[in-house]
Amino acid sequence: MKNSKITEKQPAVSKKQFLKPRIAKVTVNIGVGEAGERLHKAETVLKNLTGQKPVQTLSKTTNKDWGIRKGMPIGCKVTLRGEKAERFLVEALKTRNNKIADYSFDDEGNFSFGVPDHTLFKDQKYDPDIGIFGMDICVTLERPGYRVKHRRISRRKIPHRHRVTREESIAFISEKYNVEVVT
């Protein structure tokens, strides 16, 4: 006997495992429209909600009617991934009573919804110094294997059959998070 060690075969990876959608990221955005004290308060709200430091978003164009110049900070956002993203999404869906409109889903399987008041989240109290801020929550869904699209070496396109469709994302959110999609 050449090899006396007993080797066990690793379980084969099924194709169904690579077809299940998953949450790639959750982006939380607060648009203030101006720099200064309100933007600083919005950053404080995002930091308290997510536990991460927000990044300022800058204006892409100049609009004299609104008093916005190109490159001026007008909002802030936080990108959550992994377990933090899933925990935050569950809390955000609770503020909406686990209901999302069907027009919130796009053709690529992503969806967005708004929360009108940050005090709707658990453990958030109204503070007269801060005020009330609403926010937009954008959820990006993908399948395993999307790394091919973003890697530096041998980058490739994702074929249409591997992309998440609108119907698949509605089914995924409905069964995993018990969300009712309202028409």
Answer whether residue 6 is part of any domain: no
The C-alpha atoms of residue 104 and residue 162 are separated, in whole angstroms, by 21
The count of domains in the chain is: 1
Q: Is residue 111 part of a domain?
A: yes
- CB count within 10 Å of CB 98 equals 14
Q: Is-contact 42 87, C-beta < 8 A?
A: no
The boundaries of the domain holding residue 140 are 18-182
Residue 3 placed within a domain = no
Residue 64 resides in a domain? yes
Residue 85's CATH number: 3.30.1440.10
Residue 135 lies in a domain: yes
Q: Tell me, yes or no, whether 9 lies in a domain.
A: no
In whole angstroms, give the CA distance from residue 183 to residue 174: 13
The CA-atom distances, in angstroms, between 146 and each of 140, 153, 171 are 12, 14, 20
Contact 69, 62 (CB under 8 A): yes
The predicted pLDDT at position 124 comes to: 83
- Cα(125)–Cα(59) distance, rounded to whole angstroms? 30
Which residues sit opposite 68 in a β-bridge? 63
pLDDT of residue 75: 93
Q: Determine the pLDDT at residue 146.
A: 82
The verdict on residue 118 lying in a domain is yes
* Residue 142, helix vs strand vs coil: strand
| Predicted local distance difference test score (pLDDT) of residue 54 | 96
Predicted confidence at residue 63, as pLDDT, reads 87
pLDDT at residue 67, as a whole number: 83
Q: How much is the pTM?
A: 0.83
Rounded CA separation 22/36 (Å): 37
Q: What is the pLDDT along the chain (183 residues), one digit of tens a residue?
A: 555 565 666 666 667 777 889 999 999 999 998 888 999 999 999 999 999 999 999 989 998 888 888 989 999 999 999 999 999 999 999 999 999 999 999 998 899 999 998 988 888 888 888 888 999 999 999 998 888 888 999 999 988 888 899 999 999 999 999 999 998
- The answer to whether position 130 is within a domain reads yes
